[in-house]
Amino acid sequence: MLVAILKRTSQAVGSVLAATILVWFILPLAPGDPANRIFIARGINDATEGQLTALREEMGLNLPLLQQFFHWFGSLLHGDLGLSFTTGRPVLQEFLSYLPATLMMLGLALLLSTLAAIILSLVAVYYHDQWPDRLIKLYTGITAAIPTFVFALLALSYVVVGWQVGRVLSEVSWVTALMPAFIIGLDRAGGWIQLLRASLLEEMASGYAFVARSRGASELRILLRHAFPNSLKPLLSAIGLSVGALLGGAPLIEAIFSWPGAGSYLLSALTARDYPVIQAYVLAAALGYVLAAYLVDIAITLLDPRLRGTQT
């Protein structure tokens, strides 16, 4: 057991490290010079070569990449993510101030989509091949075919602008988070319904379901008490995997809804080539992904007595 935990942990640390290293060496390949951007941000459009070199030296950008990385990594171990190129303030502090808004929106989205996926799959399977099932199938087909941002734009133009329901927001609250969360959740739930519906149908056709029927148990009872807990495994894995995707997709949705979260912070950092901020976001996304995978592993183990106990 201890070996398994150690193995799992080293894998987790490994993937976080790999993500940060990869991004560190890929970022400078993108065109655009951070020093130049900083001058533009300060309102100086015609910085001389001398000024640029001086700034690069000041920020350590003239050093070899490897040395820069170790420098950054060294301070990371002390809990220091460096200073933002554009604002000059500590990245960690800035990042943490934007993070709650994003977590709030993504958390709400995760909650909404999980609930929707569970309820709609159960309905679809209970009314298998009848009109509720077909309707739900249509919905999953639509979400699979159309990207999230299209829904977001539609919601923005019709619901927010057209009907004057809600506002395009810069103020953060649970109510205002509902709209972007709903859009993300709507999209996510589609795939999860397909997944959960298929595994529910499989369980409903299994040997123990047949035996339960032979004892006089109702379909609803078999569905809720037996098939549902037995078919959660693929859904849990999908939820775990999607945490990474959600963090990656957050900037787009946040930009559309002008949501002042870490995603918007990342977008402005990307245009400004603000490397420390980008690195911080990648690090956070990798950590979030690894943490989610960890939690899913634990949940799956707890749910299955065959994995929980010893074999006899």
Partner 1 sequence: MSDPIIACRNLTIRYPDSSPQIRNISFEVAAGECFALVGRSGSGKTTITKALLGLHHSETLIEGEIRFRGKNLSHLDQTGWKRIRGMEIGYVSQNPWSACDPRRPVFDHLREAWHCRGHRTSPSQIIEALERVGVIDAKDKAFSYPHQWSGGMLQRASIAAATAHLPSLVLADEPTSALDSDLASAVFASIKKRSSAVLLVSHDMELVMQNADRVGVLHEGQLVEIMSPKALNTAPHHSATKIFLDALDVGRSQPVKAVKAPIISLENVSVRYQDAADAILKNVNLSIAPGEIIGILGPSGSGKSSLLKLVTGLCKCVSGSVKKSPALERPGAIMPVFQDPSASLPLSWPVWRVVTEPLTASHLKRSSRKRRREIAKAALSEVGLGDLDIDAKAWELSIGQKQRICISRLQLANPELIVADEPTSALDTISCQKIAGLLTRLAEKGTAILIVSHNETLLKRICDRRFQVDPGTKNVSPI
Cβ proximity to partner 1, 22 vs 302, nearer residue: 302
Distances (CA, A) of 284 to 77, 79, 266, 287, 288: 14, 13, 11, 5, 6
Q: How far is the CB of 182 from partner 1 (least distance, A)?
A: 33
In the complex, least distance from residue 206 CB atom to partner 1, rounded to whole angstroms: 7
Cβ closer to partner 1: 157 or 218? Answer: 218
Paired tokens of 243: 């945490």
Task: Catalog residues that contact partner 1 under the rule CB under 8 A.
Answer: 206-208, 210-218, 221, 225-226, 229-230, 303-306, 309-312
Smaller CB separation from partner 1, 33 or 297: 297
Contact predicate 260/166, CB 8 Å = no
Question: Are 95 and 281 in contact, with CB atoms under 8 Å apart?
Answer: yes
Nearer of residues 113 and 230 to partner 1, judged by Cβ = 230
106-119 burial, b at 16+ Cβ within 10 Å, e below that, comes to bebbbebbbebbbe
Beta carbon of residue 176, minimum distance to partner 1 (angstroms, whole number) = 40
* CB closer to partner 1, 45 vs 214: 214
Least separation, in Å, of the C-beta of 9 and partner 1?
Answer: 20
Handedness of CA 82, 83, 84, 90 (dihedral sign): positive
Minimum CB–partner distance for residue 290 and partner 1 (Å)? 27
Measured CA to CA, the distance from residue 179 to residue 149 in angstroms comes to 13
